[in-house]
Structure 1
Amino acid sequence: MTTSSHIELLASDLNDQGGIFCPSPKAHMKIWNSHPKVYLDVARTGMAKCPYCGTEYRLKAGEQVGDHH
């Protein structure tokens, strides 16, 4: 299953570890096409791609993540 969508995130959308889980409500996935929950580290590089569905989560231009490295 591949959706290949791009989700723009604010720094405030990330959890305390600097990531997000996919499937995410932000990806508007329906229960019938969801996949196992996977953690994606967005803070490290500013983007992450889900290995299951291909959805890319990216920080919106100009967004800064706190103390994450």
Structure 2
Amino acid sequence: MSQAVVELLASDLNHQGGVFCPSPVAGMQTWNTHPKVYLDVGRSGEAKCAYCGTVYKLKDGEHFAAGH
């Protein structure tokens, strides 16, 4: 089974640099998935969901600036 990878723009992250999984950005519907998990993508540019293994990462050239 291949691992899902979701590429994000910096503008997809919240003001703290995070996203939630499951995510509408990834086309997931919350009614049939795991509990909501906060993932800090802004710190390292990538984070993996411990429930489903989906990797969220910033697209090449994208950078997160805290507070913006």
Alignment partner, residue 25 of structure 2: 26
Alignment partner, residue 67 of structure 1: 66
Instruction: For 1:24 and 1:3, locate their aligned partners in 2 and report how far apart those are by CA, in whole Å.
Output: 18
Superposition RMSD on alpha carbons, in Å?
1.8
**Pairing of 1:1-69 with structure 2 (within 5 A):** 4-30=3-29, 31-32=31-32, 34-67=33-66
* TM-score, normalised relative to structure 1: 0.85
**Pairs aligned (count):** 66
Unpaired stretches in structure 1, ≥5 consecutive residues = none
* TM-score, normalised relative to structure 2: 0.87
